[in-house]
Copies of this chain bind each other. A is one copy, B any other.
Amino acid sequence: MRILILGAGGMVGRRLVDKLLADGNLAGQPIEAIDAFDVVEPSFDSASGAIRIESSAGDIADPGTVQALVAKRPEMIFHLAAIVSGEAEADFEKGYRINLDGMHHLLEAIRAQGDAYRPRLVFNSSIAVFGAPFEDQISDTFLQAPLTSYGTQKAICELLLADYTRKGFVDGVGIRLPTIVVRPGKPNKAASGFFSGIIREPLAGHEAILPVDDEVRHWVASPAAAVGFLLHAATMDTEILGHRRSLTMPGLSITIREMIEALREVAGDEVAGRIRREPDATIEKIVSGWPRDFRADRAVEAGFVADTDFASIIRAHIADEAGREGAQ
C-alpha cells in the first residue's frame, strides 16, 4: 500500500507518520511507501527501512504539484494541509488558495486519473465550519454557518468531498477535529493557543496567561485521539456514512475551570498556580463565537473513540514530553 500525506510536517501529520511507521500496515495491508508532503520538506526517522518514505515540499495550490503526487496512485490519501484560522483571516487570498484551491486541485487530480482509481481520502476538517448562534449541544444535522474564512473554506471542502464521493471519483471521509489539547512545542499565535498553554507551560515550569473566564466551555481532543480519528477514518467501512461524508469527531466538552482542576489533580497546586488570569477582550470575543458542545452521535456510531477524561490527556502529554526528552 502507498500512502500520500499532505501536511505531513505538522503536529498531527508527524504523529500520524510515526504511528504508520510503527504499525507497518494499515487495515491489514502492509505499507510499502509513504509520500510525506508539506510546504517545508519534512524528515522522518525511517530506521527500520521496511517502509520507503519519500518526502517532498511544494505549494499545494499549484495543480501540477498535486497531480504529480496523485500520479503515483496512492491507495490512501490524508489531506491535513491548511493555512490556520488566523492566517486565513488575515490573508484572504492565501487562505482561499491553500485551503480551497488546494483541495479542489487534489480532487480534480484524482478524478483525472480515471481507470477506476478511487482512493480513500481522509480530509481534516474543523469545528470552525460551525458558527454562532448555536444549539446547546450541536447535533449532526445542524447547519454549517462558519464565521471565519477558514471555516468557510473547510465547509466548502466538505461539500466538494461529498459530491466527488457521490459521483464515484473518490471514497472520502471528512473529520471535524475538536481543538487539539495539549499541543506540544512553543506557544503559537492561534487564538485557541491558550487552551494548550495553560497546561503545557505550567508543567514545563513556566507561567501561562489565561485570557478568558474560567467558565468558558470548549470542545477538545488529545493529539493521540486525533491520530486515532485519522486511522479509523482511513480503515472504516464508509457505506454507513451514506452521502454525508463529514463527521464531527467526538471530544470532551470541558470548562477552563475543569481543565485547571484536572491539572491540579495530576500535577499539584504549585503547577496549577502558574496560571495567571489576564482577561483579553479581543480573545474573549473570538472565543465566544466558538462551539462549546456537540452531540457527535454519528461519529460514535461509526466507531470513532473520544478521550475518556482530561486528566488522562494531561498524563499522556507528560509521558510524550518525557519520551521526547529521552530521545534527545
Contact = CB atoms under 8 A, between A and B. Distances in A.
Contact of A147 (B135, B152, B160, B243): B243
Work out how many copies of this chain go into the complex: 2
Contacts of A156: 156, 159-160
Nearest to A135: B141
A2 interface: no
The 6 closest A-B CB pairs, nearest first, are A152-B163, A156-B156, A143-B143, A152-B159, A141-B143, A145-B244
A243 B155 CA distance: 15
A159 B163 contact: no
Interface string A229-253: 0000000000000011000000000
A199 B244 CA distance: 36
B145 A163 contact: no
A143 B138 CA distance: 11
A162 B167 contact: no
A146 interface: yes
Contacts of A145: 162, 243-244
A179 interface: no
A119 interface: no
A143 B245 CA distance: 13
Interface in A194-227: none
A167 B244 CA distance: 29
A228 interface: no
A147 B163 CA distance: 8
Interface size class of A (residues with CB under 8 A): 20 to 34
A166 B149 CA distance: 9
Interface string A102-146: 000000000000000000000000000001000100001111111
A111 to B, nearest CB: 8
A131 B156 CA distance: 16
A258 to B, nearest CB: 28
Contacts of A162: 145-146, 152
A144 B146 CA distance: 13
A156 B144 CA distance: 11
A162 B147 CA distance: 9
Interface in A135-190: 135, 140-147, 149, 152, 155-156, 159-160, 162-163, 166-167
A44 interface: no
A92 B146 CA distance: 27
Contacts of A135: 141
A155 B159 contact: yes
A142 B147 CA distance: 17
Contacts of A131: 243
A166 B147 contact: yes
A155 B246 CA distance: 15
